[in-house]
Structure 1
Amino acid sequence: MTRTYLPGIIAMAAIVVASNILVQFLYGQWLTWGAFTYPLAFLVTDIMNRVYGQTAARRVVLVGFVVGLICSLIGTQIMGEFGPLVTIRIAIGSGTAFLVAQLLDVAIFSALRDGKWWRAPLASTLIGSTVDTVLFFSIAFSGALSFISPLTDVSWAAEALPLLGNGPVAPLWVSLAVADWAVKLSLALIALIPFRLITARLLPAG
């Protein structure tokens, strides 16, 4: 790691830590505050990729993964009202989703980096965010994957409710996933503004 990468490393670590803390606090019926900070990880990855290349981006991703693992391990040791703040399934889902989605983001961005400036960050973030959402919520809460940790009680997440309160009946975790995904997609569009401003400042002119 070089000092050049340090701002990206610090930013990624801060986002992961903040998201792990804020996910404990609800925002409305379907979201937590962590849903608004976590997608910024894709912004950091894309900026590092654009400015320093995919090797630098992967290094920052690995730092975020390690920090996330540490946060999850700490969370499994803290008892809340209904048990550990972080269950084994949530820890596995979080780590798997982060690593797979972020590395996919790096690969897609690198493949599209020579196109229009917005194409690589938008496509990589949209696809990465979608994969992240599917992996995390299915691993953490789907009844079909209960074998991952049979003793983890996720029956609350399987409660059948109208999707986002108004749609067809689906397990609660599906509504949580859809709401989370919608935030990620919205922030992917908004993040194009800071991406453009920051990369323009860091990249040499010409």
Structure 2
Amino acid sequence: MTRTHLPGILAMAAIVVASNILVQFLYGDWLTYGAFTYPLAFLVTDVMNRVYGASAARRVVLVGFVVGIACSLIGTQIMGEFGPLVTVRIAVGSGLAFLVAQLLDVGIFAALRGGSWWRAPLVSTLIGSTVDTAIFFSIAFSGALSFIHPATDVSWASEVIPLLGAGPMAPLWVSLAVADWGVKLTLALIALIPFRLITARLRAA
């Protein structure tokens, strides 16, 4: 790791910390404010991958993973109205989802980096975001995975309601996952603009 990687490291750490804080605050019925900051981690990973290569991107991902684990450990010690701010299942889900999805993003980006400038960041982020959402919400809230930590009560997340308030009947956690996934996909498209601008500037420096 060199000093040129430091901005990427700091950006990833800041995004992870901010997302862990903002996830405590609701935005509407299905989202938290953290849903709007966390996807920026994929932007940081892709910029690092394009400018410095896959090895540097993986190192930045590992830094983000360690910071995320630290945030989760702190959150498990802070008591809220209904118990710890971060349950064991949320800690496991967020850590595993981040690591798997980000490393998958790095690998897919590296495989597609020779094509059009937008293809690698778009495809890698779309797939990584989908995997991230599936892993996190399943581990954190699915009743089928309660064996991960039986003491964590996720019965509220299994309440069957119309999907996003208007669709077919599904557990509440599925609506939360779909809303989160939708934000990730939208930001994946929007992030192509800063990705193009940032990488062009760094590669010209």
- Shorter chain as denominator, the TM-score bin is over 0.9
Residue matched to 2:171: 171
| 5+ residue gaps, structure 1 | none
Q: Deviations over 1:165-192 (max 9, x none)?
A: 0001100000000000000000000000
Task: Give the whole-Å Cα distance in 2 for the aligned partners of 1:152 and 1:29.
Answer: 22
Residue by residue over 1:26-62, the C-alpha shift from the partner in whole angstroms, topping out at 9 and shown as x without a partner, is: 0000000000000000000000000000000000000
1:203 match: secondary structure:
helix
Q: Distance in 2 between matches of 1:157 and 1:85?
A: 16
Q: Distance in 1 between matches of 2:186 and 2:174?
A: 18
Aligned to 2:101: 101
- 1:137-152 matches, within 5 Å, as 137-152=137-152
Letter of the aligned partner of 2:184 in structure 1? K
RMSD of aligned Cα (Å): 0.7
Unaligned runs of 5+ in 2: none
> Aligned partner of 1:180: which letter?
D
What letter is aligned with 2:78?
I
- Return the alpha-carbon distance in structure 2 between the equivalents of residues 203 and 119 of structure 1: 18
1:2: Cα distance to partner? Answer: 1.1
Measure, in 1, the Cα distance between the counterparts of 2:29 and 2:120: 33
Counterpart CA distance in 1 for 2:156 and 2:19 is: 22
**Match of residue 201 from structure 2:** 201
Q: CA deviation at 1:204?
A: 3.4
Q: CA deviation at 1:122?
A: 0.1
| Cross-structure match for 1:125 | 125
Give the secondary-structure state (helix, strand or coil) at the position aligned to 1:117: coil
Hey, what's the Cα distance between the residues in 2 that align with 1:81 and 1:189?
37
The count of corresponding residues between Structure 1 and Structure 2 is 205
- SS of the aligned residue for 2:204 comes to coil
Aligned 1:19-38 pairs, distance under 5 A: 19-38=19-38
Counterpart-to-counterpart distance in 1, 2:14 and 2:180: 20
Structure 2 counterparts to residues 9-158 of structure 1, below 5 A:
9-158=9-158
Paired with 1:62 and 1:7, the residues of 2 have a C-alpha distance of 15
TM-score (norm: length of structure 2)? 0.99
* TM-score, length basis structure 1: 0.99
CA distance in 2, matches of 1:94, 1:105: 16
Q: Distance in 1 between matches of 2:159 and 2:80?
A: 21
C-alpha distance in 2 between matches for 1:202 and 1:18: 25
Q: Deviations over 1:99-132 (max 9, x none)?
A: 0000000000000000000000000000000000
Q: Deviations over 1:148-167 (max 9, x none)?
A: 00110001100111000000
SS of the counterpart of 2:161? strand
